[in-house]
Amino acid sequence: MARMVQDEGSSSVTSSPLQFFSLMSLSPSLGSPYPWLRELKSEERGLYLIHLLLSCANHVAAGSLENANIGLEQISHLASPDGDTMQRIASYFSEALADRILKAWPGLHKALNSTRLSSVSEGILVRKLFFELCPFLKLSFVITNQAILEAMEGEKMVHIIDLNAAEPAQWIALLQALSARPEGPPHLRITGIHEQKEVLEQTALRLTEEAEKLDIPFQFNPIVCKLENLDVESLRVKTGEALAISSVLQLHTLLASDDENLRKKSPPVSRSSNSVNLQRALQMNQSTLGELLEKDLINGYSPSPDSASSSPLSLSTSAKMESFLAALWGLSPKIMLVTEQESNHNGPTFMERLLEALYFYASLFDCLESTVSRSSMERMKVEKMLFGEEIKNIIACEGTERKERHEKLEKWIQRLDFAGFGRVPMSYYGLLQARRLLQSYGCDGYKIKEENGCLVICWQDRALFSVSAWRCRRYD
């Protein structure tokens, strides 16, 4: 076997690298990588890393720790947090797989993480870096603000509830737009929700300064709490106010609250079903995987029919989400804007989530690869402290600990419709503004398109984020 491996590796892989990789089982006899591995071209190395990640994940799912350990060691020789896109992805997915294994020994896991520092300022910094390096949140803010402006035309008292008031840039832009209204600015009140008091204080300071500069009557109402613990009564919505609600990458976190009991009742996933996932991924043709690693990193994977829409939570059993949306509906918002990740990371099986996450985050890493240098510290911070932590949460965590439960637009449409909200079509002007912003960004890979009356923001042909607008159907 060793001689065959070296013979194959001495020339370029031209026939079918996946057939070759599938011959290589992760067994104790494989040991350290052969020298030819270091000579692989970027695309070939990427193919091999995909094979190793999926094989290792199957061993983790099956509880085969010895083989999983060998797989992680193999990956460590080829992956790198400052290498090409696939090397970087492999670094963070292997870390997530290792973390999942360690969670089986809570004492060991806690000891290894006991001195880990997580400062509020660091979290704010990394989200600001993501805001600057990628246009996704800027586009969401432009679209959201335009929808609010149009909904609030002629209103004299406007109240906005921000379910995660960590980024004042969105509301600074809205204040500036409101100050230019022909009828003059309204009295504006923003209620900001965040679990960190310092974040709300910074947001309040920035917005108050801007409102004073523009001479707009303004109040900021801070609410320090986690979204799942929010008491809707504390939002203090007053009679006569025109209400708007903004949720940017927040609603999915509420799905964790309903999962614990359902998870305990779910039957265990058999090893054979995990093997099917691996075989399905390895059957992708070479040219598609070449494109996948070169640019798109997504076209080759076609989710199984259940993975696109399945979730451990049916609409009828998401009690926390149902009650929360019902409470928001009871506030009679004139408009509600929802931005969410456009991927299914809330599937019922570990392997399903891993595959979906692999292709979703491959696109995000590829965005940065196309626009930011590999040596950029800002890029590495976003990849490690934001993407890497999200990947770890999706892959390594279960139950209420798993907060990153992203679901696709189709599921959010069903859920919000069930809660009594009706879709508000996005305005042509909002779409135009978003496309202008993308043109000014100077990168052809980003796209924005309409889908089911909502807008989806894409990298190449892969939808990554959705923005939808809603109102109580009683306004129809």
pLDDT in the model for residue 77: 87
Q: Is 449 in a helix, a strand, or coil?
A: strand
Place of tokens 């099956």: 62
pLDDT in the model for residue 474: 64
Q: Which domains does the chain have, with CATH numbers?
A: 39-107 (no CATH), 138-257+316-342+426-439+467-472 (3.40.50.150)
pLDDT in the model for residue 416: 94
Beta-ladder partners of 336: 245, 470
Residues of the chain whose pLDDT is less than 70?
Answer: 1-39, 117-121, 258-317, 474-476
pLDDT in the model for residue 271: 40
pTM reported for the whole predicted model? 0.82
Which residue, 278, 250, 414, 221, is CA-closest to 340?
Answer: 250
Report whether 386 contacts 249 (CB < 8 A): no
Q: Provide the angle, in degrees to the nearest 10, between the axes of the packed helices 42-62 and 286-294.
A: 100
For residue 307, the one-letter residue type is S
pLDDT in the model for residue 303: 40
pLDDT in the model for residue 452: 84
pLDDT in the model for residue 473: 78
Q: How far apart are CA 132 and CA 303, in angstroms?
A: 31
pLDDT in the model for residue 104: 84
What is the phi/psi pair of residue 127, to 5°?
A: -70, -35
What is the phi/psi pair of residue 324, to 5°?
A: -65, -45
- Bridging pattern class, strands 421-423 and 335-341: unpaired
pLDDT in the model for residue 259: 62
Beta-ladder partners of 339: 248, 467
Q: How far apart are CA 343 and CA 102, in angstroms?
A: 27
